[in-house]
Structure formats: structure tokens, C-alpha cells
Amino acid sequence: MAGLALLAACSAGDAEPGVNADDTGDVVDSTQFDAPSSLDGTAPPTATAAPTTTAPASTTTPSPPTTTAPALPVRAATPGPGPGQPVVPLGPGDRRVYVLGDSVLVGAAAQLPGALAGWDVTVDAAENRLVTQAAGILDARQAAYDGVVAQYRAEHGGEEPPPSNPFGRVVVVHLCTSFWAGGGFGTYVERIMDRLDGVERVVWVTCTPWDDGPVEANAAIEESLGRYPNVVVADWAALSGTPGYTFADGIHLAGPGRDALAALVATAVGPAPPA
């Protein structure tokens, strides 16, 4: 199940404004990709009415000021134990990550494996994919896995295979770009989470709030934090308006946005566990 299964990508260089809500998408198989330096320099006037004394020159080199990078907007139902730890790092075990997404995730597909170094990443993303399709995609993956398990039992005299699942240890979901308001996104969250029962961490990525639909979806994603202990929210909506991150449509990813989204997902997934 390892590898990078990239489905049809939107044209990154000439994305059109708006989002097509059509539920189709051509399939394309692919392999692994791969401040001013100072203030005004004028010295202040010196006093001449009385002699002045000069303190001995210090021999200690002052330490440069330290800066802290702003934390990425990641929120977990079970956060890490200290500052700078939005999620609890997973212990030794399965290193598979399954990424299910739409055309926005397609734009970051090449960057995700590098950002998720140490993980075994499968990206399943497609242009115009809708959250209404997610249950069917997950069911098909489950059915294929069940077939593999049945074959294993047949070849090993009924012996059970090692414990596993068709999705991996972490699943990332970004399927709210083309969602229309009033559709009950929370219902789809429930359906997807039911199918991912047993997955240790589920990362929901919010969407650019270009219309009321993604706004509704983002609210439902935030609510999932209080309902599922294994949910982590990667808040792309909070970052996507950064200048240079998207093309003129304000949705699909330009170069810096691809790197930023991949970094956000990696922070939400957490570091790869030891073998």
C-alpha cells in the first residue's frame, strides 16, 4: 500500500478562479517525486561642561537576539505535553500515512513525502473530488484489503495475518474546497470517522473560506475535536490567505503555498516514529 498514488492534478500554472463542483476527475498514476541593519548612525551630542569617565570596554560578546518562529495552526484533541508540541509524538510502530484530498492537496502532492520524512506516504488526491465521494473511496480500499487478508488466510491454513488496517496509522483528509453550504458537512465527518475506526490519528485539514460552504465545513471540522480523541486539525484556512501562497483564484497552490501546506500537514501528523 506504500507509494504515492497521485490522481488528476489541477493545472498549477493557470488555475481558473472558482472551483468546479463536478464529481468527476481523470485518474493519472504517478511514481514517487519526488529589517534595516541599523538605525540612524548619527552619534548623540557629548557633554563638555564636566569631565567624563569611560567604563572599561567589555570583553564579553553580546549574544544575538533570539527569535521564535510562529507556531503553525495545529490543534489536537490530545495535544502534546509542552509548548511547541501541538501533537503527542506516536511511539514505535506502523509508519504508513494515507492522504485523501481534492485539487488543493494535488498541488502539494510532490512536497508531502519530503515534508513527512520517515513516513511511508500514500497520496490519493484528485481534481474536483467531493466529500460525498469519501465513503465510497474508503470502502473500496477496505474491500481490497479484506481480499488480501482472505488470501493470506487461505495460503496460511486459516492463520490470521499481523494486525493492520487498509489505511495506515495516520489518515489526512482535505475534502472541503468544493462543499456547498447547507449540505451537513458534520454528517460526512461522522461517516468518514466511522470508517477510520482504529486509525490512531486522523488529521482534518480546513479549507480556504472562499464561500459559505467551506466556512460551514471548517466549523464542523473544529467541532470534531470535541468528539473524537484521535482528531488533529490542521488549519489551512488560517494560512491560505498569506500573499504568494495561492494563484489569482485564491484557492489553488502556488509554489510557496505548496511548501507551506506540506509543512502544516507534517506538523499535524507529527514526527515519524522509530522502527
Average model confidence (pLDDT) across the chain: 80
Q: Can you give the length of the chain in residues?
A: 275
Pairing of β 96-101 and β 170-174: parallel
Grid cell 514517487 is found at 32
Only one residue has cell 484556512, namely 237
Task: Show the domains of the chain with their CATH numbers.
Answer: 71-82+94-131+165-269 (3.40.50.1110)
Give strand pairing partners of 203.
Answer: 172, 232
**What interhelical angle do 212-224 and 185-195 show, nearest 10?**
40
Give the mean pLDDT of 211-240.
97
Flag whether pLDDT at 165 surpasses 70. Answer: yes
pLDDT of residue 13: 36
Which positions ≥6 away from 145 have C-beta within 8 Å?
165, 166
Distance (Å) of CA 186 to CA 192, 204, 214: 10, 12, 12
Q: How far apart are CA 30 and CA 3, in angstroms?
A: 9
65/130: higher pLDDT: 130
Look at residue 70 in the predicted model and tell me its pLDDT: 55
Per-residue model confidence (pLDDT) at position 104: 97
Distances (CA, A) of 13 to 107, 246, 259: 10, 10, 16
The vertex-173 CA angle with 196 and 125, nearest 5°, equals 115
What letter does residue 13 receive in the DSSP assignment? G
Q: For the packed helices 134-155 and 185-195, what is the interaxial angle rounded to 10 degrees?
A: 10
Residue type, 262: A
- 71 vs 191, more confident: 191
User: Per-residue pLDDT for 133 more than 70?
Assistant: yes
Residue with cell 548612525: 41
pLDDT digits (tens, 9 = 90+) for 58-101: 444 444 444 344 579 999 999 998 887 899 999 999 999 999 99
Measured between alpha carbons, how far is 218 from 207 in angstroms, rounded to an integer? Answer: 7
Q: How far apart are CA 245 and CA 255, in angstroms?
A: 7
Tell me what the mean pLDDT of segment 24-37 comes to.
31
What's the pLDDT at 39? 25
- Out of 178-182, 232-236, 262-266, pick the least confident: 178-182
Mean pLDDT of 1-14: 34
Rounded to two decimals, what is the model's pTM?
A: 0.76
Query: What is the spatial distance between Cα 158 and Cα 161, in angstroms, rounded to a whole number?
Result: 9
Q: Contact at 8 Å (CB) between 105 and 113?
A: no
* Higher-scoring residue by pLDDT: 36, 269: 269
- Cell digits of residue 60: 564579553
